[in-house]
Each structure stands twice: as C-alpha cells, then as structure tokens.
Amino acid sequence: MEKDKEKVSLKFDFGKYCKLCLRHWLWFVIGVVACVALACAYVYIKVPKSEVVASLKLPPETNAGGIMAISDLASSFSLGDMFGGSSTDNEVAMLSSHSVYMKTVKDLGLNVACYEKLGPLKWAELYGDKVPMSVTPTNAEVNDTISRAIIFKVSINGDGTYDVNAKIKRKTIFKKDGVSMPCTVNTPHGTFVIDTTAAFAKRDPEVKAYRFVFASYNAASQSLAKIVRAYAPDKKTDFIALSYLTSDPQFGELLLNTIIDNYNLVCTEQRNEQDSNTLGFVDKRLASLEDELAQTEERMENFKKANNLTDVEVDAATLLTTSSEIEKTQLWARIENEALKMAMDFLAKQENQYSLIPSLNSGDFSVGSAESIEAYNQMIIQRMRMLDSTTPNNSALKRLDSEIDAMRASVIESINRAYEQSNIKLNELKSKTASMTSRLNSLPTLEREYIGIERDLVLQQQLYLFLLKQREEASMNLSQATPSLITVDQPYTLTDPAGITTKMALAFAVLMGIILPMALLYFMRYNKAPLTADDIETVAQAPVLGQIKKDASNDALPVLLSTGGESIRQLRAEVLRVLDGLESGKNTVMVASPYDGEGKTYVAANLAASLALVGKKVLMIEADLSNGNQPLMGYDMAVGVADLANKSLAECVQTVNLNGSSISLLGPGNVGGRNGDDLVGHQSVKEQIAKAIEDYDYVVIDTASYVEHSGAFELADLADLTLCPVAVGRSTASSVEQADALCQDGRLPRVAIVVNMA
C-alpha cells in the first residue's frame, strides 16, 4: 500500500470526465452508428404526413339560439351572467363530441381502414376513392354490434387470384387461398363481402398486399377523436382551430369539411328540437298565464271595490287632508258648544237677571242665537240709561222690565235650542273623526295586501311579455338555419411536413449516439459501478489498512494453508501494530461493512485464525445474527451470542484446534423469532463479552452490516479498532462514502478500510 498516494474524490470532475470519454472514443463511434441505423430504419418505415388545419369562429351571441333564451330570462330576473351564452370551450367540446364524429365516420365509411404494403414493415393508409377494394358486411347491423376489430389481409397472386386471411388480434378466423373477387368471408361475427372498386385499375401494380381493419362505428369514432384536434388558440378570442395529420392532404381537407358540416347539422337539429320544445312550452304557459292574469286583475278590482280604493297613495293623502279638516271643525264646534253652555249658566243665575249677556261672536265662528242676545243686551243697556235718569218705580222702566223679562225667556230658549244643536253637531264630528282614524289605521294593511296583488300582476305581465318574445324568437330560429360556427379559413394543408423530418431524425440519432455513451460512462464511473482496487485506494478518505488478495486455493480459510494467506498475514501485522500503539489494552477488533456481501466474515475469520497461529489466545465472536444460527469456520455452534442472556460465556464458547493452535469460537446461537440487534445489545451479552476481553489476548467480532442493522453500534464501546471491508468489483462508491462518514463522526472506533479482492 502506498501511504503517500494522493486522495481524490468520486465527485464529478469535468476535466477527468472528458479524458475518460476520449479514452473510450470507440464507444461513441458504435453509439452514433447504431443510432443512425435506427434513425434510417425509422425514416424508411415512417410514412410522411402533412397537417391540415381550419379556422372557425363563433357567431354573434344574438344567433346563439336557445341558449340566449336562458340568458334573457336570467337578465329579466336580475340573475346576472349565471346562465351566460355559449363559450369557446363549450363549442370546442361540442365540436369534438362523439355524436359529431360518429356521423362523420358513417358519412365517410371510416370504420374500414385500408393499408397498402410498400415494403417490409412499411404500410401506408389509403383514403376515399383511392381504396382499391371494399369490405362490406351483408348485415348492416354488424357496423354497430361488432365488439372487436377484424383485420382482413388480401394478397394478390400472379395468376389474378387472391389469398384472403381474417384475424381478430392474433387468432385466425378465416383463411382461403386462390379465390376470385368478389369473395365472401364467413366469420363468427358476421358475413363480409370483399370486392374490388373503381380505384383497383388505377392502383400501383407493384403493391401485392392490402390490409383492411374493420371496426364498429363506435370504435372508429373514438379513434378519430384521438387524431383530430380541436382547440382554442387563444382563450381571449372566440376562434377555434381544427387540425388533422394525414398522409393524404386531399382526404384530410374533406374530413375536416365533413366534421364542420356535421357539427353545424347536429347543432341545428338540437337547436330546432330545443326551439320546438320551447314553442310547445311557451304556448302552454301563455294559455295558463292568460287565466292567471285575468284572475289577478279580478282580485285587484274586487279588492278596490271592497275597500273603496282607487289608488292607495292618493287615497291615503286624501284621507289625511279630510281628517285634518274634520279635526279643525270639531275643535271650533267644541268651542261653540262651551260658549253656549257658558251663556246658559250665566242666564240661569238670578243675580244676572238684568246684566249684559257676554257676546258669543268670536272670529272664526258665530253662535246661531247671537242676534237675539245682541237685541237683549241693547234693551239692558237702555234700562241702565233709564235708571240713571229716573226712579225704579217709573212706569216706562217697569214696562221695559216686562219686555226684558219676555226677551230673556226667548233668549234662554234660543240658547238652549242652539246648545242642543251644537251637541248633535259635535257628536257627528266625533263619529266622523273616529271613522277617519280607523280608516287611516287600516291603510298599512290594505297597502300591504294591495302591493302583494300588484306584485303578482306585474310579475305575470313581465313573464307574459317575455314568453311572447321568446315565442317570436323560437319561430324565427325555426324559419332560418344559421351555422353554429362560421368558417373563417377553409381546410388547407400546411407546406412544411408534420412530425420528425429526415434531417431531424438523423440529427437526433447523432446526438443520442453521443449522449448514451457519455451517460453510460458517467454511470459506470461516478454512480453505481463497482469500484476497482485503485478506485478504493485513491478515493477513500479513511485509512486503508491493507489488501486481501484473492487466493488461488479458493479456500475459506487460506491462512491455514502453508502456501496461502500472505495478504492475511500482512493485515495481521498492520492490526497488531495499531493495537500495540493503543493504551486501552482491550485488543478487540470489530469487523463491520456498510452492506452485506463485502467479505466481513471472510476477513474476520482469517484474521482470528492468523492471530491464533502465532500463539495468541483468541476469541472469535459471530455477532451477525441476521441470518440465524450459522456454522462458524465450518463448525456447527449449538449455542452462542443469542444464549448469553441466559447462559454463561463458558457454556457458549467452543474451543477448536487449528494446525496445532487453539481458538475459541462464539457463534450466533439460537436466535429463534427474536430480533438479532436486540440480542446483541442485551446488557448481559455486553457484560459477558466485556469480561471475555479481559480473559483473551485478542477478540475478533464479526457484526452485521451497519447501514441496515444496529449491532455494530451496540458493541462499539467494546472495540479498539473497526475494519471495514470493501469488496473490489462488487462495492460501489456508497460503501466508501459510508466508511468515510463513520471515520469522520466517530460512531465506530478507529475505522480503517480493508480492500477485499478475494
């Protein structure tokens, strides 16, 4: 081993990778030649195709038929755009619908596909009037009922006869050679007649074989939907594009035209059916609405008559004005009544016999007896004047008193009569006020009932007018056929061929011929390729303690042979050198590899045997319990590590003789259904192994792989040195990386790599 060899990394290095590619230049030549050959085969087999395209546009929304009826209805009830007109996506879906393709397949007979053989593995499809033969079922229902496609192969013989073969998948259902045309083919799925067409005389005489694929209309429609593309080039516009790849551009244009015509026809039929249904519904609804309108109008009329209403708002305003006037009149009537009562009370008192009666005239009202009171007061004034100039016994004065007394009685009677009339008037006004108040209080209820009737009437009127409009629109739609899509660009063929051209195929082949060898070299060198001895020596960051070379004897323990095992002895010397330099004194070596199959048991057994051969007291422990109880160095072990939890070490160890030297062996033991890592980590097991370390010169422990198991980490504190075998030609960069990681993080003691070439 070269101690001073420079350590390198397996990480990608572009410069070294380029040199690696140059060293393997022959790989690139082979890759390019192979890929170009495949490209040539592809170009030969591939039939050139062209793309046929057409551009369509949605008509204005006013021509959208029944859909607009729903939109208008939504607008009438303020539902916004919830039921808007037809969108581009909807039209694309309709254009690609199964019903449109089904009609197209039937119109063009696309359920029978014809192919002519132009060479080995090279078939070209024929279309329309270029098909030289026809395959027709005697029962037309077969076109709809057949569940699997039938492949008819017709070969033309030199004598003018034909060989006919029919298959479903790989099963032959009819075969007959040397037949003439027309030929009747009887199959389990029906009877077919194969005959030549007018195009047979114009066919290429070099073509000697034709293949016909007969499928149902349904299957052919599904196949057509996969190869015809309908899409919206831009979501912001109302344009729709149709695209179709074909080897016959003339047929492609015919196909797209047929699809467009059938789409418009299907949409027209659906629209006419919808309009007819709309007319029927509208006529029935109009008839019922007429009755409903008449009933609602009658309800409103009866309501107005019953409640003496003309217009609720006008009537309410009138009632308020009238009520105010009545209240004002009632107020003055009450004042008049009180004035009359005051006059009556005044006249009823004896001390007021010859006193002036207060006047009952006041601004806005006049009591009916005011004139008589005024005359009475004039007579009282006259008496007062006479008293000033004469004595009470004056005859004139007495005569005047008699007149005053008579007048007083007349005034009292007049005031009483006026008071009675005032009471009657006041009661009448009170009755009118109460009636008016009741009327005003009932107005909100009447208004609410009136609004309900009016709302029903308005809704019915609007619906009636709307249905009349829809009836006219449906009638107009039925009377004129408008296309659902307007053809902007008639189907035309693009100049450039579609798909991969010959130049593109060859360029791609050359590129792949370069990329594939590069990828293969990268995979082998930097990814999962097995490492060589030089790789391990140069890339390992952990110390490499030695190499174990493959022994010619192929013996499991070559160290026991007199002529073999020299690399094992060299490893032993390196191990002893390392252990002698340690102060712990445990002299325990643990052999652990990242993965199974890297030779850890081989290294551990030969190392332990080589130590025993030089007179050392050695204990070999097989702590890999993942495979159950296995023989150790060829010896069957009845008990072992798995039994140390219940037994002593002396009961489990077996001592054997190796070429005159003895070695102690501790096998896996009886694992049973228990977990091997739990057994290795058991406290009793670890304590007894620790005790054994004190009783032996050297202890070699073979553990399970530490990537998938924890056994090595359970025993890590018992060891002085960890050997990680890395197998040449088997281990990958991952094994070295795992060993380097253990060396750096110190989870296992003093990790060193052993290159295993055995």
Domain spans of the chain, in order of start: 89-257, 312-456, 533-756
Q: What is the pLDDT of residues 435-473, one digit of tens each?
A: 667 666 666 666 677 677 777 778 888 888 888 888 888
Structural domain 533-756, CATH architecture: 3-Layer(aba) Sandwich (3.40)
CA-to-CA distance for 699 and 526, rounded, in angstroms?
Answer: 37
Lowest mean pLDDT among 81-85, 118-122, 289-293: 81-85
Average pLDDT over residues 411-419: 80
b/e code 454-479 from CB counts within 10 Å (16+ = b): eebbeebeebbebbeebbebbeebee
Q: Which of 644, 201, 645, 33 is nearest to 653 (CA)?
A: 644
Q: What is the pLDDT of residue 137?
A: 92
Contact 375, 454 (CB under 8 A): no
One-letter-per-residue 3-state SS of 13-64 = CHHHHHHHHHHCHHHHHHHHHHHHHHHHHHHHHCCCEEEEEEEEECCCHHHC
Return the structure tokens found at 89: 């996506």
Q: Which two tokens stand for residue 275?
A: 């309009």
What percent of the residues of the chain are helix, what percent strand, and what percent coil, each to the nearest 5?
A: 55, 20, 30
| Mean pLDDT across 23-35 | 89
Sign (positive/negative) of CA torsion 270, 274, 275, 279?
A: positive
| Residue 158 predicted with pLDDT over 70 | yes
Which two structure tokens, joined as six digits, stand for 168?
């479903």
Please give the Cα distance from 375 to 386 (Å, whole number). 17
Q: Are strands 50-57 and 162-168 parallel, antiparallel or unpaired?
A: unpaired
The rounded distance, in Å, linking the Cα atoms of 456 and 459 is 5
Following DSSP, what letter does each residue of 242-306 receive, concatenated? EEEEES-HHHHHHHHHHHHHHHHHHHHHHHHHHHHHHHHHHHHHHHHHHHHHHHHHHHHHHHHHH
Q: How far is the C-alpha of 296 from the C-alpha of 457, rounded, in Å?
A: 6
Backbone dihedral region for residue 532 (phi beyond 0: left; psi -120 to 50: alpha; all else: beta): beta
pLDDT at res. 165 = 92
φ, ψ (nearest 5 deg) of residue 177: -110, 155
Question: Residue 279's pLDDT band (boundaries 50, 70, 90)?
Answer: confident
Does pLDDT of 30 surpass 50? yes
How far apart CA 541 and CA 753 sit, in angstroms, is: 9
Residue 253: which of 14, 452, 493, 461 has the closest Cα?
Answer: 493
**Length reported for the chain:** 758
Where does the pLDDT of residue 314 fall: very low under 50, low under 70, confident under 90, or very high at 90 and above?
Answer: low
pLDDT on residue 61: 56
How far is CA 528 from its chain centroid? 39
pLDDT of residue 323: 66
Torsion of CA 419, 420, 423, 424, to 10 degrees: -140
Cα distances (angstroms) measured from residue 406 to each of 200, 354, 410, 411, 700 = 149, 12, 6, 9, 162
Of 147-156, 294-303, 355-364, 749-758, which range is least confident?
355-364
The confidence score (pLDDT) of residue 480 equals 65
DSSP lists the bridge partners of residue 498 as 49
CA distance 378 to 390: 18
List the strands of the sheet with 162-168, edge to edge.
Answer: 122-126, 112-119, 209-214, 150-156, 162-168, 171-179
pLDDT of residue 313: 64
Distance, in Å, from the CA atom of 128 to the CA atom of 109, rounded to the nearest integer, reads 8
pLDDT for 748? 84
All residues at 6 or more sequence positions from 459 whose CB lies less than 8 Å from its CB, including other chains: none
Question: What 3-state class would DSSP assign to 650?
Answer: helix
Handedness of CA 304, 308, 314, 315 (dihedral sign): negative
Instruction: Write out pLDDT tens, residues 675-697.
Output: 878 888 888 888 888 888 888 88
**Radius of gyration for the alpha carbons in the chain, expressed in angstroms and rounded:** 60
Task: Provide the whole-model pTM.
Answer: 0.51
Give Cα 30 to chain centroid, integer Å: 47
- Give how far Cα 565 sits from Cα of 506, 537, 559, 610, Å: 57, 21, 4, 9
* Residue 318 scores a pLDDT above 80: no
pLDDT score of 62 = 39
Closest CA to 378 of 396, 361, 400: 400
Decide: helix, strand or coil at residue 361: strand
Categorize the per-residue pLDDT at 67 as very low, low, confident or very high, splitting at 50, 70 and 90.
Answer: very low
3-class DSSP state of 98: helix
In angstroms, the CA 68 to CA 470 distance is 10
Q: What is the largest CA-CA distance in the chain?
A: 195
Q: Is 155 exposed, middle or buried (0-12, 13-18, 19+ CB in 10 A)?
A: middle
The average pLDDT across 563-583 equals 82
For 171-180, the pLDDT digits (tens) are 899 999 989 9
Strand bridging mode 122-126 / 751-756? unpaired
677 or 113, which is more confident: 113
Closest C-alpha to 737, from 519, 522, 535, 546: 535
Other residues' Cβ atoms within 10 Å of the Cβ of residue 19: 10
